[in-house]
Amino acid sequence: MCGRYAATANPDDLVEEFEVDADQTRGELAPRYNLAPTDPAPVVVQRPPRGEPDAPPERTLRLLTWGLVPSWAKDPSVGSRMINARSDTLLDKPAYRRAALSRRCLVPADGWYEWQKSPTAKDAKGKPLRQPFFTRAADGGRLAFAGVFEFWRDDARPDDDPLAWLTTYAIITTEAEPGLDLLHDRMPFVLPRDRWDLWLDPRVTDPEQVRALLDPVPPGRFECYPVSRRVGDVRNTGPELLDPVPRDQLQGVLDPATGELIGG
Active site residues: 2, 114
For residues 210 and 199, give the distance between their C-alpha atoms in angstroms, rounded to a whole number: 7
Q: What are phi and psi of 69, to 5 degrees?
A: -110, 110
Torsion of CA 43, 48, 50, 55, to 10 degrees: 160
For residues 255 and 134, give the distance between their C-alpha atoms in angstroms, rounded to a whole number: 13
Whether 172 and 214 have beta carbons less than 8 Å apart is answered as: yes
Beta strand 58-66 with 165-175 is: parallel
For the chain, how many helices (H) and strands (E)? 4, 15
